[in-house]
Structure 1
């Protein structure tokens, strides 16, 4: 296996992913049928129930072999991720229950851009972004990765109007969709970024049946235009599980 050079966007078929421990059995089986290994998250007891297992809340994969992990859950991930050869960096920001003390690692990094409310970004992540000269797009929405479905290095899908407004200023191709229509445990609704993730260079997997989404036709046309294939992992309604985070690809 080989580490992704950059976060979220693989260049080959994905072999290893990080997912919410509560992943439904049908989705887990679909991923395993595609010969994808799964690392399940642990519970972060400091967070509220809906997001306490979300990978994009607990960690930020920076690409290559570097991953920044919240100190609350560092011991758990250090053991598991070091086994695969990852450099597991202990984050400086301790996750707490209430917003914005739970968003430090929820950064959307794609291509030459990073989107977040940078007032609250964890220091190691911010240092990496600055060192790599990644363009910072500051937004009010701290749940940035949750809210952004990364399509390629210059394209996203989001239901957050504030994010949409900011990214288009940087000539990023952004598809704005209707809010809601995605489950998130006891919350009113979840987000498109949290219900998606790449499983190969051109296959975008959905945690549920995207055809049931009110904006499915718009989403399909947008992804077709970008050369991305939709992979539906369940016949049930879309669920926000804090993203599928690809970590490693196959060597072949």
Structure 2
């Protein structure tokens, strides 16, 4: 079971504390309550509010959280009805000390640089029957969005190659179309995702029309409508984590 593939609209979403008012208001109009992240001081400034750097949902009810921010989420998510599990890896500012929880999920697979996956997270994924795929890319969740058990987007070539070798229908997206202030670019997984069982959401607009049209056609072929949460350039905020 992939916690990013939704059977219905989520009650809450965890979103970067720097998300614009336009995006926050878009979510509220869908009757979704945004829960803003807390700044993780041990991470680089551009990603210190990204949910997928510090939290990994095993399923809809069990979330592994980095020790750095565990106490905050224990309180912030108290009313959300999810079980929080403290990870074993305290994140640090430099790669690979910051990637332990940034694990992509597609179908029955968890995709990550397995040399640096948090051991608690790995244990619970194994317990859930998840199979592992090793890739060079440590920011694999940032780089990947699943649409269903057999379809995904990625902005990383090594992930694209591994997924296609597993007969996953995968579309590669040039990461340079994604804005992430402080870096040359962001990644597709940090600015897109499913917001309910029918709708694929991006944080903003893709300036390259050819790429935008290709993504929209791919999304529609998977059975989803394509929506934009803002009129801004599509921006990597880290994966928006849903709570159903």
Equivalent position of 1:60 in the other structure: 56
| Alignment match, 1:10 | 6
SS at match of 1:189: coil
Aligned partner (choices 177, 185, 190) of residue 173 of structure 2: 177
* CA–CA separation in structure 2 for the residues paired with 1:110 and 1:37: 26
Secondary structure in 2 aligned to 1:83? helix
Give the structure-2-normalised TM-score.
Answer: 0.96
- Unaligned stretches of 5+ in structure 2? none
What is the CA distance between 1:245 and its match in structure 2?
Answer: 1.1
Displacement of 1:63 after TM fit? 1.1
What is the distance in 2 between the residues matched to 1:17 and 1:105? 18
Tell me how far apart the structure 2 counterparts of residues 108 and 49 of structure 1 sit (CA, whole Å).
22
**1:238 partner SS:** coil
1:168 to 155, 161, 164: 164
Q: TM-score, normalised by structure 1?
A: 0.93
Contact 1:82 1:88 in 2 (8 A): no
Q: Is the 8 A contact 2:12 2:80 kept in 1?
A: no
Question: In the alignment, is the contact (CA less than 8 A) between 1:106 and 1:116 conserved in 2?
Answer: yes
Q: Distance in 1 between matches of 2:124 and 2:239?
A: 21
Residues 1:37 and 2:33 aligned together: yes
Pairing of 1:211-230 with structure 2 (within 5 A): 212=208, 214-230=210-226
Residue 129 (structure 1) aligned to one of 125, 131, 137 = 125
Query: For the residues of structure 2 that align with 1:99 and 1:71, how far apart are their CA atoms?
Result: 17
Equivalenced residue count is 244
Corresponding residue for residue 93 of structure 2: 97
Q: What is the deviation of 1:218?
A: 1.2
Residue number in structure 1 paired with 2:187:
191
Distance 2:208 2:33 in 1: 27
Q: Which moved more, 1:206-215 or 1:170-179?
A: 206-215
Q: Let me know the Cα RMSD of the aligned residues.
A: 1.3
Aligned equivalent of 2:45, options 44, 49, 56: 49
Report the alpha carbon displacement of residue 132 of structure 1 after superposing the two structures with TM.
Answer: 2.1
Contact 2:177 2:206 in 1 (8 A): no
Residue matched to 1:72: 68
The answer for the alignment partner of 1:231 in structure 2 is 227
Structure 1 runs of 4+ off > 2 angstroms? 210-214
Deviations 1:122-177 (A, max 9, x none): 11211122122212111100000000021111111112111101111111111012
Task: Say which SS state the counterpart of residue 31 (structure 1) adopts.
Answer: helix
Structure 1 regions of 5+ residues with no counterpart?
Answer: none
